[in-house]
Amino acid sequence: MDNLALAYYRVSSKRQGDRWSLVAQQEAVQKVARQRSYSIALECQDVKSGSSMDRSGLRKILAEVETGQYNYLLVWRLNRLTRSLADFLKMTAICQDNDTQIVSLMEPAQEDAIGRLQQQIYVMFGEWQLGVLKDNQKMAYQQKMNEGKLLSSSVPLGYEYVAGQAKVVAAESQIVQYIYAEYSLGRLGYRKLAECIHQKFDYALTPNGVAKILRNRVYTGVLENQYGRQANLFPRIIEDRQFEHVQRIRQSRQVTKKHASNEFLQHKVVCPVCGGSLTPTHMIRGHRQYDYWYCARSACSGIRINEADLLAQLDAHLMTLIDNHLRERLLEEIRQRSVMKPMVSQMIDQTKLFQQFETGELSSEELAEQLAQAKVIKQRVTTNQIAQKQLELKVRGLLSKLDQTGTEGLLAGLDIDHIEINGLKQVTGLFIQPVPKINLFKLGDVDT
Ligand SMILES: [Zn+2]
């Protein structure tokens, strides 16, 4: 069948039983499915926060998607699927692999790469917009940490997540131990180590991945983060002494290394001359430090671009993108979403009431009653108008905040594939996952 669909509904808690309760989501989705002649084969739902992928309904849906028989995954809004851009990217990848299109009722998008990108921007924007959510998440994490539970189901190499616990995976822990042992000898760097692991274990790790493993204290059985220190969540894989030894080697090597300024730019900025990726460096003049990205290849005639300039250009481009694709859309949505259609038709014309009283159609008692009712309705209309205004103000406030603070947060949150600059040090392209072939800055011009 060509129109086989799955549907997914979610509310974050039982209390959220308002307009967009599970039933309302289901009704809206089913209605659209009927209109478009989609046949819904399976509906799943969760009463759980969208900040984690650990949801039974979602797991079931994704498992179904992976059978490859479905054309559509229907949701009321994308944020029902997830609140996290990272998780959304994972889901998009699964759906793309299986030719399943994610269809959101409230965020219609084209059925192509640009449409998927558009969806991604919606999720990204939502994620950023609801900074509150992050705070909630932090509180939930704190709570979990206090209870001695794992924060997330994604655990580092060497472990697997089993029902809230981290368990050692023997084969993987051997890789970790090998990395520590070899690095301790002080002969190999991250890149060489990554190659060795590939040969010896047939396991792919980037040099950066190796570095991450070497600085992750979790392997000593201690988890430290902003929420505190927990010694009972991860079993030990590496002895303290070896870990400290490795840290000393890393530090001694780092002295000569360039500092990492904006990590999200690492390996992302493409040299317009040789096509390699640019390396960060800095220069100190007087009391000021200037950050640059430059091509370190000796065979390349090279380029050097000021980091602040690079970021400013990226920011300007992204702002334009948001302006062109999102700002109006968001405001329009608020207008549409507002429950508060002015109930003018229902408003009782007071003059008419007095006329009816004069002609004897209404008794004085009835008049009083009708006038009182009219007053209540009038108040209700005003309250609703105020609520809508407030909502609109809030969104406008958010947008203007974006205008003031810029897009740095958004940039760091994007899964950047690469950034193109030209010989004149102009940023000409931003390419992100999962559509690395589409230049975000040329969205309007691209035709697919
Ligand atoms: Zn170059």
Ligand 1 centre to CA of 267 (Å) is 12
DSSP-based three-state secondary structure for 256: coil
The predicted pLDDT at position 62 comes to 95
- The protein residues having their C-beta less than 5 angstroms from ligand 1 (an ion) are 271, 273-274, 276, 295, 297, 300
- Strand-strand pairing, 223-225 and 416-421: unpaired
Instruction: Spell out the long-range contacts of 252-255 with Cβ–Cβ below 8 A and sequence spacing 24 or more.
Output: 253/189
**What is the CA(416)–ligand 1 centre distance, in A?**
20
In angstroms, what is the span from residue 409 Cα to ligand 1's centroid? 28
Distance from the alpha carbon of residue 56 to the mean position of ligand 1, in angstroms: 48
How far away, in angstroms, is 302 Cα from ligand 1 center?
5
In the chain, the amino acid numbered 156 is: P
Contact 278, 294 (CB under 8 A): yes
- Cα–ligand 1 centroid distance for 410 (angstroms): 28
Q: Within the chain, which residues score under 70 in pLDDT?
A: 1, 14-20, 113-114, 124-142, 144-153, 226-228, 254-261, 287, 323-351, 355, 374-410, 412-414, 434-435, 443-448
Q: How far is the CA of 269 from the centre of ligand 1 (A)?
A: 11
CA of 307 to the centre of ligand 1 (A): 17
> Residue 187: left (phi > 0), alpha (psi -120 to 50), or beta?
alpha
**Over the chain, what HEC string results?**
CCCEEEEEEEECCCCCCCCCCHHHHHHHHHHHHHHCCCEEEEEEEEECCCCCCCCHHHHHHHHHHCCCCCCEEEECCHHHHCCCHHHHHHHHHHHHHCCCEEEECCCCCCCCHHHHHHHHHHHHHHHHHCHHHHHHHHHHHHHHHHCCCCCCCCCCCCEEEECCEEEECHHHHHHHHHHHHHHHCCCCCHHHHHHHHHHHHCCCCCHHHHHHHHCCHHHHCCEEECCEEECCCCCCCCCHHHHHHHHHHHHHHHCCCCCCCCHHHCCCEECCCCCCECEEEEEEECCEEEEEEECCCCCCCCCEEEHHHHHHHHHHHHHHHHHHHHHHHHHHHHHHHCCCCCCHHHCCCHHHHHHHHHCCCCCHHHHHHHHHHHHHHHHHHHHHHHHHHHHHHHHHHHHHHHHHHCCHHHHHHCCEEEEEECCCCCEEEEEECCCCCCEHHHCCCCCC
Rounded to the nearest angstrom, the distance between the alpha carbon of 208 and the centre of ligand 1 is 21
Give me the half-sphere count of Cα atoms (radius 13 Å) on the Cβ side of residue 363.
Answer: 2
Spacing, Cα 320 to ligand 1 middle (Å): 29
Span from the CA of 59 to the centroid of ligand 1 (angstroms): 44
Q: How many CA atoms lie within 13 A of 234 on its CB side?
A: 26
Burial group, residue 2, by CB count within 10 angstroms (0-12, 13-18, 19+) = exposed
Q: How many CA atoms lie within 13 A of 361 on its CB side?
A: 7
How many other C-beta atoms lie within 10 A of the C-beta of residue 208? 14
Cα of 186 from ligand 1 centre, angstroms:
30
Residue 287 alpha carbon to ligand 1 centre in Å? 30
DSSP state string for 370-381: HHHHHHHHHHHH
Cα 298 to middle of ligand 1, angstroms: 8
- CA of 430 from ligand 1 middle (Å) equals 18
Token pair for 1: 């069948």
Per-residue pLDDT, 40: 96
CA 423 – ligand 1 centroid, Å: 11
DSSP 408: H
How many Å lie between the centroid of ligand 1 and the Cα of residue 424? Answer: 14
Which residues is 5 bridged to in the sheet? 40, 72
- For residue 321, the CA-to-ligand 1 centroid distance in Å is 29
Output the pLDDT for position 374.
67
Question: What's the gap in Å between 289 CA and the centre of ligand 1?
Answer: 24
Ligand 1 centre from 275 Cα, in Å?
6
Output the CA 417–ligand 1 centroid distance in Å: 18
Q: Compute the distance from residue 299 Cα to the ligand 1 centre, in Å.
A: 8
- How close is the Cα of 386 to the center of ligand 1, in Å? 58
